[in-house]
Each structure stands twice: as C-alpha cells, then as structure tokens.
Amino acid sequence: MSALVYTLSDSATMLRRNLLRLRRYPSLTLLLVGMPIVFLLLFVYVFGGQLGHGLDTSLTGGRSGRAGYLDYVTPGILLMTVAAAVQGTAIVVAMDMTGGIVDRFRTMAIARSAVLTGHVLASLIQAALSLGIVLGVAVALGFRPGAGPLAWLGAVGVLALFSLALIWLATALGLAARSVETASNTPMFLTLLPFLGSGFVPDASMPTGLRQFAHYQPFTPVTETLRGLLTGTPIGADAVTAVAWSLAIALASYLWARRLYARKRSA
C-alpha cells in the first residue's frame, strides 16, 4: 500500500475514534449547541420586537418587527454556533495532548497528520450537526429564508469554509494550551465576535472606534454574505472578503497547529 493510502486509512480510523468519543460524551455537544439557542431565544423574544422596528426592511429581507429581526439575527446566531462548537474542538484536542494517548500514537508508525485530521473532520461533522439543530430551532420560531437551491448551496459552502477555518484555529489553541481548562477558555473570545460585528445589529449604528473594528473583523463579511445568501440582502464585495478571511485563517491556523504538534513535548 502506498503512503497516501495509509494516510487516508489512518485519518479515517482517527475520525471513527473521535466520532465514537462524541457519541460517548454527548453532554459537551449539547452544552455547546445550547448557548446559541439561548441567545437566539433571548434576542428574538426579549429584544427582537424593539430591535426589529429599528431595522430598515432592506436589511431583513422584507419583513419588519420581531419576524424581521429573526431573519436579521439568524445568520449571526449560526456563526455563533460555529464559534461555540469549536470550543469543543479545543477541549478534545487538549484532552488528547495532555493525556498519555498521544504519546502512544507518536510511537506508532502511523501517518503523522492523521491525529489532527481526525479531530478536524470530526469537528466539521459536529459543527454541521450543531448548525442543523440551531437552524431547525430558528425555522421553528418562524425563520423563513427565501434562498433558492443555488443560494443554499452557497450558504452551506460559506459555513463549511468558515467552520474549517475556526476548527483549525481551535485545534491550534487546543495544542497550545497547557491544560484542558485553558483550552476550554481561550476560544471563548470567538463567541463574542458576532456581537462586535454585524451579527446582532448593523455595525453602522455603533460608535466610531467599535464600528471600525466591526467593519474590518472577519465575522462581519461572513455574516453579511450568509445573510445575503439566505435572506436576499445585498452582498457586494463581502463575499470575496469572507472567502479570503476564511482561507487565510484556515491556512495560518493549519500551519500553526502543524508546528505545535510536531514540537509538542510532554517531557
């Protein structure tokens, strides 16, 4: 068998292991998916009536009031779901690295990349499940995206690419953490970023300094692109920026994670 076949089969083995672990430890997934759902309910029912009236209907895809705000906030909540899900990635990666099992893997003749690839693929599946659940809740609350099949495909693509980027970032953070506790805290700033962007309210309404941060941070173009694809708001140049940010974060984090993994010593 060639090296490539071994790499694929070892990665598949590691993926199976991680999916099995996810099934044995469902409380972590439930906890992480619970957070965006709570924020969705909170913002739609507590603040949504008022916020919805302040929004121009061109930003909501046509509806106004609470229903309009639901349309507006759902893309932001979906990105928050991804940000919350990757906390789980950092935790399970750190659990592996601080335990003895990674040393066992390192002393075996297996493809070097398989351990991390297994984590990343399992996390992608976990993120997809979380997104499915949160989207389901949003639809149950009355979210009615007007997207056609092509726009849906685009939305799935944007979410997948952005998830991949944050998952590699969380993997690197999990590798860099000295303990599982640290690993569960460091990616938390990611769940704040949808607030400091156009996830919950338009960034145009913010004071200057914050507005500039919101305008240039990666969550904003991704939110705008996703919102445009799902509800038909204008996208413009945001699509290109969103893809560029996602690719850049994914690549930089991948290289960082690879370096940390190669160097990691639990001496």
Partner 1 sequence: MSTLRRPAVVATGVRKSFGETVVLDGVDLAVAEGTIFALLGPNGAGKTTMVRIFSTLVPADAGRVRVAGHDVADDPDGVRAAIGVTGQFSAVDDLLTGAENLRLMADLNHLGRRAGRQRVGELLDRFGLAGAATRPVSTYSGGMRRRLDLAMTLVGSPRVIFLDEPTTGLDPRSRRRMWDDIRDLVAGGVTIFLTTQYLDEADELADRIAVLDRGRIVAEGTPDELKRRVPGGHIRLQFADPAALHAAAAHLDAAAADEERLVLRVSGNGDVASLRRLLEQLEEAEIAVEELSIHGPDLDDVFFAVTGHPTLEQEAAR
Least distance CB 3 / partner 1 (angstroms): 10
Nearer to partner 1, 4 or 108 (CB): 108
Binding site for partner 1 (CB under 8 A): 1, 6, 9-10, 13, 16-17, 20-21, 24-25, 99-101, 103-110, 265, 267
> Using CA atoms, how far apart are residues 264 and 267, in angstroms rounded to an integer?
9
CA angle 179/130/241 to nearest 5° reads: 85
Q: Which is nearer to partner 1, 88 or 145 (CB)?
A: 88
Q: Please state, in angstroms and rounded to a whole number, the distance separating the CA atoms of residues 146 and 142.
A: 12
Number of other residues whose CB lies within 10 A of the CB of residue 139: 13
Q: Which residue lies nearer to partner 1 by CB, 101 or 156?
A: 101
Alpha helix ranges (H) inside 99-207: 101-106, 114-141, 149-176, 180-185, 189-192
CB of 263 to partner 1, least distance (A): 11
Least distance from partner 1 to the Cβ atom of residue 235, Å: 42
- Which one, 13 or 64, has the nearer CB to partner 1? 13
Least spacing, CB of residue 4 vs partner 1, in Å: 14
What is the closest distance, in whole angstroms, from the C-beta atom of residue 267 to partner 1 in the complex?
6
Tokens read off for 164: 């991949």
Decide whether 140 or 267 has the Cβ nearer to partner 1. Answer: 267
Tokens of 78: 């979906």
207 CB burial (10 A radius; 0-12, 13-18, 19+) = exposed
